[in-house]
């Protein structure tokens, strides 16, 4: 069984010193995937909050426009009846 293990080791790819240094450097880098997911979640939440704020503002403007139109209509109607 030990012979098979040695054969498997012999067939493994050999890397140059420079290649091995690159591999070691890449493997030593920290895994920032979790940090990235947290930041993405925060930005998604902020974007959603901005969207909700804009939607609320547009609804308020529309409501004010309707109220202004109704108020103008009432004034016009009152003005015509007083004359």
Tell me whether residue 6 is in a domain: no
What's the pLDDT score for residue 5?
Answer: 45
Average pLDDT for residues 40-55, to the nearest whole number? 96
- Give the mean model confidence (pLDDT) for residues 32-50: 93
* Residue 4: inside a domain: no
CB atoms closer than 10 angstroms to residue 83: 5
Output the pLDDT for position 8. 46
Assess whether pLDDT exceeds 60 at residue 56: yes
Position 63 in a domain: yes
pLDDT band for position 1 (50/70/90)? Answer: very low
Asked if residue 7 belongs to a domain, the reply is: no
Q: What's the mean per-residue pLDDT of the chain?
A: 83
Range of the domain at 23: 16-82
Q: Could you tell me if 40 and 32 are in contact, meaning their C-beta atoms sit under 8 angstroms apart?
A: no
Q: Distance between CA atoms of 67 and 72, rounded to whole angstroms?
A: 8
23 found inside a domain: yes
How far is Cα 75 from Cα 69, in angstroms, rounded to an integer? 10
């Amino acid at each position: 069984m030990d012979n098979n293990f040695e054969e498997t080791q012999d067939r493994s790819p050999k890397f140059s010193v420079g290649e091995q240094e690159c591999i070691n450097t890449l493997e030593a880098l920290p895994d920032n995937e979790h940090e990235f997911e947290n930041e993405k979640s925060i930005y998604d939440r902020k974007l959603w909050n901005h969207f909700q704020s804009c939607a609320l503002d547009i609804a308020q403007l529309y409501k004010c426009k309707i109220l202004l139109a109704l108020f103008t209509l009432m004034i016009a109607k009152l003005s015509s009846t007083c004359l």
